[in-house]
Copies of this chain bind each other. A is one copy, B any other.
Amino acid sequence: MFVRMRVLYHLWLSPASRTIRIVLAEKGLEFAMKVEPIWQRRPEFLALNPAGEVPVLIEPDGTVLADAAAIAEFLDEVYRDKLLLGINPVDRAEVRRLVAWFDHEMNREVTDNLIGEKMMKRFLGFGEPNSNAIRAGKANLVHHLDYIGYLVDRRRWLAGEHFSLADIAAAAHLSALDYLGDVSWDDHEPAKEWYARVRSRPSFRAILADHIPGAPPPKHYVDLDF
C-alpha cells in the first residue's frame, strides 16, 4: 500500500517552522520537509495558505494545515501522546498566553529585527541589514531573556510544572537567534539553564543538526555544554 508522507513546508530559521518540527518530534511523528521560498509567493503555495507564510503542514490524508498555533493545537488534539497544551483550562490558557507572547511580541520586537534583517537581506540579496533594526532587536532580546529568567525562577518550565508548547515556542525563537550568534547566554544564567534543559531533549536533535549552506552556525550552537 502506498502511504503518503506528512510534509512540512518550512524555512530553516523560521521559529514558527521550528516549533512544528519540535512538536512533531515530541509526538514521534515522521515527516518530510520542503523549503518554501515564501518571498516568491508561488501561486501553488498561496493556494495552501493565503497568508503566504510557513509553516504549512500536509497530513498523510491530505489535510492542509496553516498557522503555527493552529497546527500545534491540531497535533495536540489528534496525537494524544505527550500533551503539549496541558490538561486543565487554566494551565492551557497560560500556555497559550505565553505562546502568543513569544510568537507575536518577541517576534515583532526581536526576531523580525534580527533574523528578518540578517537572513532576508544579507543571505537573500535584498540589500544591507538595517543597523537600527539590529540594535533594537538586540536591546529587546535582553528583556525577553530576563522574562524567561523571571518565569523559571518561579516555575520548573515556562508555563508551569510541565514542559509545554510555551517552552517549544520560546526555544524555537532562541535557537534561530542562536544560530546567528545573537544570544548572549552568559549574561542570562536562568534562561541559559532553562534553554540547556530544552535543547537536551531528543526532539531538539534535528534542529541542532541544521546547517544552512553558506551560513554555518557558531560552535556553541551545537555544543550541548555551551
The answer to whether A90 and B63 have CB atoms under 8 Å apart is: yes
At the interface, yes or no: A101 with Cβ under 8 Å from chain B? Answer: yes
Name which residue of chain B comes closest to A94, CB basis.
Answer: B70
At the interface, yes or no: A128 with Cβ under 8 Å from chain B? Answer: no
Q: Mark A90-129, 1 if CB is under 8 A from B, else 0.
A: 1011001100110011000000000000000000000000
Cβ of A108 to closest chain B Cβ, rounded Å: 9
Inter-chain contacts of A69 with B (CB < 8 A): 69, 96, 100
Q: Given A65-B93, A89-B77, A105-B51, is A70 in contact with B100 using a C-beta cutoff of 8 Å?
A: yes
> Complex Cα distance A161/B105, Å?
33
Instruction: Determine chain A's interface SS by DSSP, over half rule.
Output: helix
Report which of B70, B71, B93 forms a contact with A71, defined as CB distance below 8 A.
Answer: B93
At the interface, yes or no: A66 with Cβ under 8 Å from chain B? Answer: yes
Name which residue of chain B comes closest to A68, CB basis.
Answer: B100
Report which of B66, B73, B90, B96 forms a contact with A67, defined as CB distance below 8 A.
Answer: B96
Known: A51-B101, A63-B93, A67-B100. 16 other contacts (CB 8 A): A51-B100, A51-B105, A63-B90, A65-B93, A65-B97, A69-B96, A69-B100, A70-B100, A71-B93, A73-B96, A74-B89, A74-B90, A74-B93, A77-B89, A77-B92, A104-B104
A-B contact pairs, 19 of them (CB 8 A): A50-B101, A51-B100, A63-B93, A65-B93, A65-B97, A67-B96, A69-B69, A69-B96, A69-B100, A70-B93, A70-B96, A70-B100, A73-B92, A73-B96, A74-B89, A74-B92, A74-B93, A77-B89, A77-B92
In the A-B complex, list the 5 residue pairs whose CB atoms are closest, starting with the nearest.
A70-B96, A74-B93, A77-B89, A67-B100, A67-B97
Q: Which residues of A contact B (CB under 8 A)?
A: 50-51, 63, 65-67, 69-71, 73-74, 77-78, 89-90, 92-93, 96-97, 100-101, 104-105, 147
